[in-house]
Structure 1
Amino acid sequence: MHRDDHAGRPRRTLRSMALLSAAALFLIPLAESASAHGSIVDPASRNYGCWQRWGNDHLNPSMQQQDPMCWQAWQANPNAMWNWNGLYRNGVGGNHQAAIPDGQLCSGGRTEGGRYNALDAVGAWKTTDIRNNFTVKLYDQASHGADYFRVYVTRQGYDATTQPLRWSNLELVHQTGRYAPSQNISFNVSAPGRTGRHVVFTIWQASHMDQAYYLCSDVNFS
């Protein structure tokens, strides 16, 4: 009996280690997400919205019918959603339009590696209902603060379901001043004359270094 007990112990230990390893692998995306930066959470940026709706259920095939733009993004690169807070560029020097080509605004021009490319896909992204006077909310896990935020809204007549997003489609509607480091920042924006589906494009220039975030939020003005 004594020999049998010791013989079984290594097998039980190996099974326990395998289960712990599997659990650790499952938690890697969440840990990576939790260690990074921030995003616009209301109205939700494209990848934050996909993570918010499907992060706990991202293997559900129903997403393909219920939320096809998130589906294609999850299929293209799940890390774009697990890293919803890492869509930034360093060293742009405020020259955003030169750094980000037309058609790549929602990925911040981050085509290397293809992580965020799917965020530029044209189609019927899920929208957040807002009014012409609305509030933009940032969640910044690392409390970087901001030199400024610039908020653009697409011009009336632009159709995000059929057209790639270009700088010429946007109108600057709001620019803020500086914000001290904080995990939660919010400010009010007015975008008169809009109805229906639009894209809110926010540039967050962080204050801890020359680091700029480029964030597309799909909205419906009601």
Structure 2
Amino acid sequence: MNQPAFTSSKSLASTGVLAALAASLCCITPLLAILGGLGGVASTFSWLEPLRPYLVALTVGVLSFAWYQQLKPAPVADDDCGCPVPAKPSLMQSRGFLASVTVLAGLLLTFPYYSARFYPSAALKPVTATNTAPVWQTSSYRIGGMTCEACARHVEHDVQQLPGVQSVRVSYDQGTAQVRYNAAVTPVAQIEKAINGTGYSVLNPSR
């Protein structure tokens, strides 16, 4: 008799995890892009960012209802002798499974707040000796499409790989980037190409 309740709880748990994943997918994708070497896909799910508050609310709502379903007294069935026999849920219908799902959803929802820890910090690169005198310049850019700190760390990571780039500082809050580079080694167009190659876009390209 209580099978529908167990099934409902299982479905709610699945919905909660999917909603939590969707809420943080815009910040998970940049990290996966670096690990897989697919920079252009980093901003694929940035369109989900405006929906994040609603997805968070959906996650909290469905998991709260799932716990309500799980904790309320379960109906019992009678056996052949008329004795009450409580129904036993399967593993995926148990409180332990729902607790694991809740923890997973929590980690997914909070991923944007700790995602930057997975990226190496941008540090000054040693100056490589060349036959020509270095021409140090600092360029500032406005970058569109970033939705969290993971996006900023992704841009820093890719631009830092360019030869001649000494330092990169990207601010997600301000949507800006500052790059110090040797113009004799790396032209500004190459820096802008690297930023655009991450899937985000330079809003003030050089002419």
User: What is the TM-score when the length of structure 1 is the normalising length?
Assistant: 0.29
User: What is the TM-score when the length of structure 2 is the normalising length?
Assistant: 0.30
Name the structure where strand makes up a greater proportion of residues: 1
Name the structure where helix makes up a greater proportion of residues: 2
